[in-house]
Amino acid sequence: MQQGYWHRFFFAFTFILNPAMDLQGGSWIWSASLRYYFMVPLLFRSNV
């Protein structure tokens, strides 16, 4: 149960970072892939 909260936290955190990076002039490719960089380790941990 607690692991699900961490998944939600990191996934929601990327939605906060994306607009902040957009305002700073960051690349849309990096902001779009950031969500997956955060979620991949958590996904593999869930399935092990």
Q: Identify the pLDDT of residue 14.
A: 74
Q: Which residues are within 8 A (CB) of 18 and not within 5 positions of it... i.e. 6 or more apart?
A: 31, 32, 34, 35
Q: Identify the pLDDT of residue 48.
A: 53
Q: Identify the pLDDT of residue 30.
A: 76
Q: Identify the pLDDT of residue 47.
A: 58
Rounded Cα–Cα distance for residues 2 and 17 (Å) = 23
* Measured CA distances, 28 to 9, 12, 21, 35, 48 (Å): 21, 17, 9, 12, 32
Q: What is the pTM of this model?
A: 0.43
pLDDT tens for the chain, 48 residues long, are 677 787 788 778 777 877 787 788 877 677 777 777 777 777 777 655
Rounded Cα–Cα distance for residues 20 and 40 (Å) = 22
